[in-house]
Chain A
């Protein structure tokens, strides 16, 4: 492929990527627009599985 065509293609790709990023950011905005930032329930909880005596079985090592 001639160099100028390569350049044009790279430029086009960059533009597309930038466009996609902008679109993604807009999408993200849309998703969060109606969230009340002051009243978000963003709690995250996990249950740490307790290691019971039977999981540290002396026979099982």
Chain B
């Protein structure tokens, strides 16, 4: 790749914009989260329109893909495909290499028909469309909400099984190919067996684009999980519409873009790439395309394939000047499929600033993806934009996109929002700033609509915090969290495990600190530490006592490392499991299936926005878990009307298979598109260290409980006992009958009781008296939300 020498004239494109009818389509390719729109393409659309472009279309292909895959028709196709692809296993053991496929086929056999029947209802519920307008949606009822969410997760597992070994979840998309190598990435764009998006694009998206014939197609690639889907679409569009200029941009490409441009094989998938902030470069590119320019070297921050010689030569231009954020228009969400997001109420993302005003944390490279410097909008501009967006889109919920808000803004923004009577609720990331998040400051934030803040906490160990250059003390952490909690603002902590030289004891100290403060900390977003090539830890490894290991692939971004002391990467992965497992025991929102609230980006926030307090919500979650696990109300527990249990005979233990596949060693053998790592040797190591499953004697079954969307593995007599319960009516009635038998012993009866208690705890049985025990907490929550 060459770098052009011509400096770009500063601010030249700030002249009065010329109107343009150029057809531009901006698309957000799969996979991103599904609860709310992403900000990138709405910001670009607004900019282009403000600069005179009259025909800018935007498409959220991620949520469209989820919607498409989660239909009865798609799931039927997936079921049939899984059946065609599943193979007989006649060996005495099930090795790791075949475990994933076996699990997929087994789950499909048990659940596919029920999923096909229920998928539409589950989607409607998460969208609040399960009832006529005005009636309370099942979204607000935890049991019904969790069932619907779980149904959709299982639906995606079925879709994934049909494209084995690919896995599409609401949080990630991985294939059997690695993001680390351009050869692998290109092969992934062509593999219809594994890549579900080829057919989706060909059948659903390409026909629309062919009719529209955009001259520029812009693809936003924020996450590693989008790389293959974006390039797949680019390739198809370039084949179908040779006159369309395909450009890409976004956070992930800010990291690996230079490497992508050094891989000419990928030139068949796109024409250019924007580094960092997209507004100015995209506008200049559109004007160049409109003029028919072949030389794009004047466009700042653009990398492009110069094809004038007949070959694709990668060229990277000099950086463009960043925009004045305060003068940029508010994002435009026009044309997005609002009805398809998996949320009953629209939550709008809005960027209050770009970059990070602190910018010192040694592990963090996030601010670099948007370009140099820190820029902010004024509080007045934000308030004006928010009111505009509120009225334009009829929603009062906002997600302020920011690495963190500076202390001045924490004071000014609430004042402006209150003065403008914005009447919104919002959530945002934040930094521990004790002078800003005072008691009064937090109250003022709540008054302005703030309902949830996510703080970069990272560690409770002074030594680690110092190495991270976090610039925060534990005293201020507690004080800030306490003040926010007292104001009924929910507090989430970002935490990290495995920072170089961190010991197990230190990680456990962090765990202990968080759990001791669970009265004010409601959620923890735990990450394992990893090193990308932009990070200070990569550039100055000696300072952190690590040795960076080389990465082989031509697109590699993340590196393994060896630490002079503390946990190895594998030990950190194990510690992640230990910490997460403890959080699941000790944080109400993480207990049992309440975890879905944490995993769905905005859903817990929507409860807070509706009036729930962090305390009332946590109490309702805790009561639900506690009563289920206590076995209370067992005597009148029964199978709900219409309960459907679909059994499949098991040759191997399903639960052992899932556990084995969840082991950090097995995970390391999979490409992880979050970190981009794909360690070939890990495959062998996992196969060597994780023993194969032994064939069962028979009698065990996997049951899909369609009414709770739960997989349960039952022993030999479980199904008959459940059927006996169905006939007897209640557990109490059945146990009475069993007790009357001459051969009944206390131990035998206790086993039967324990069996039903477990089913009750899993939600497979319902009990009116158990429900009554959670009624107080539930009523308090409903009253708060009323």
A interface list, Cβ under 8 A from B: 21, 24-25, 27-29, 31-32, 35-38, 40-61
A42 and B251 form a contact (CB under 8 A): no
Partner of A38, one of B526, B658, B747, B759: B747
Known contacts A28-B724, A50-B662: does B713 contact A44 (CB below 8 Å)?
A: yes
Chain A nearest CB, measured from B578 CB (Å): 12
Tell me whether B744 and A37 are in contact (CB under 8 A). yes
The reply to whether the CB of B144 lies closer than 8 angstroms to some CB of chain A is no
**Across the interface, do A31 and B729 meet the contact criterion of CB distance under 8 Å?**
no
Structural contact, B527 and A53, CB atoms closer than 8 A: yes
Residue of B nearest to A26 (CB): B727
User: Could you write out 8 A-B pairs with CB less than 8 Å apart?
Assistant: A32-B721, A32-B734, A41-B715, A42-B754, A47-B654, A47-B655, A54-B171, A57-B172
Q: Which residues of B contact A (CB under 8 A)?
A: 32-33, 169, 171-172, 222-223, 251, 366, 454, 494, 525-528, 576-577, 580, 584, 595, 599, 601, 653-655, 657-659, 662, 667, 672-675, 699, 710-718, 720-721, 723-725, 727-729, 733-734, 737-738, 741, 743-745, 747-749, 751-752, 754-755, 758-759, 762
Residues of B within 8 A of A45 (CB): 653-655, 712-713
Q: Contact partner of A44 among B576, B667, B673, B712, CB < 8 A?
A: B712
The 5 closest A-B pairs by CB, nearest first: A47-B658, A41-B715, A37-B748, A43-B715, A28-B728
Minimum CB–CB distance for B35 against chain A, Å: 10
Contact present for B577 and A25 (CB under 8 Å): no
Distance in angstroms between the alpha carbons of A48 and B593 in the assembled complex: 9
Q: Inside 8 A of A27's CB, which chain B residues have their CB?
A: 727
Chain A residues, CB < 8 A from B724:
28, 31-32
User: How far, in Å, is B312 (CB) from chain A's closest CB?
Assistant: 30
Contact between A42 and B525, CB atoms less than 8 A apart: no
Asked if A54 and B172 make an inter-chain contact with CB atoms under 8 angstroms apart, the answer reads: yes
Q: Which residues of B contact A44 (CB under 8 A)?
A: 712-715, 718, 755, 758-759, 762
Distance, CA A41 to CA B717, complexed state (A): 5
Number of A-B residue pairs with CB-CB distance less than 8 Å in the complex they form: 152
**A43 to B667, Cβ gap below 8 A?**
no
Q: In the complex, what residue of chain B is closest to A29 when comparing beta carbons?
A: B737
CA distance in complex: A21, B730 (Å):
11
- Inside 8 A of A43's CB, which chain B residues have their CB? 713-715, 718
Which A residues are in CB contact (< 8 Å) with B222? 59
* A residues in contact with B699, CB < 8 Å: 41
Tell me, rounded to whole Å, the shortest Cβ–Cβ distance linking A36 to chain B: 8
Query: Are A46's CB and B710's CB within 8 A?
Result: yes
With A45-B713, A53-B528, A57-B674 already in contact, the answer to whether A32 and B748 are too (CB < 8 A) is no
Whether A40 touches B728, Cβ cut-off 8 Å, given contacts A28-B737, A54-B172, is no
A54 lies within 8 A of B674 (CB) = yes
Report how far A38 CA is from B748 CA in the complex, Å.
5
Contacts of B577 in A (CB 8 A): 50
Q: Specify which chain B residues have a CB less than 8 angstroms from the CB of A29 in the assembled complex.
A: 737
Residue of B nearest to A60 (CB): B33
- CB of B309, distance to nearest CB on chain A (Å): 38
Q: Given the complex, which residues of A lie within 8 Å of B754, measured CB to CB? A: 42
Bound Cα distance A27, B662 (Å): 42
Measured between alpha carbons, how far is A47 from B729 in the docked complex, in Å? 28
Given A31-B723, A40-B748, the answer on whether A51 and B655 have CB atoms closer than 8 Å is no
Distance of A51 Cα from B580 Cα, bound (Å): 7
Residues of B within 8 A of A37 (CB): 738, 741, 743-745, 748-749, 751-752
Nearest chain B CB to A60 CB, angstrom units? 5
CA distance A48 to B599 in the complex (A): 14
| Contact assessment for A61 and B659 in the assembled complex, using a CB-CB cutoff below 8 Å | no
Assembly CA distance A56 to B495 (angstroms): 11
Complex Cα spacing A53 to B354, Å: 25
Q: Are B717 and A42 in contact (CB under 8 A)?
A: yes
Residue of A nearest to B699 (CB): A41
Q: How many whole Å from A45's CB to the nearest CB in chain B? A: 4
Who on chain A is nearest to B498 by CB?
A53
| Residues of chain A within 8 A of B599, CB atoms compared | 51, 55-56
Give the shortest distance, in Å, between B44 (CB) and chain A (any CB): 18
Give A41 to B673 CA distance when docked, in angstroms: 42
- Nearest neighbor of A58 in chain B, beta-carbon distance: B527
Chain B residues lying within 8 Å of A41, measured Cβ to Cβ, are 699, 715-718
Give, as a whole number of angstroms, the nearest-CB distance from A8 to chain B.
26
Besides A21-B729, A37-B751, A55-B599, 19 other A-B contacts (C-beta < 8 A): A27-B727, A28-B737, A29-B737, A32-B720, A37-B738, A42-B715, A42-B717, A42-B721, A45-B653, A46-B762, A47-B659, A53-B675, A54-B672, A57-B172, A58-B527, A59-B222, A59-B674, A60-B33, A60-B171
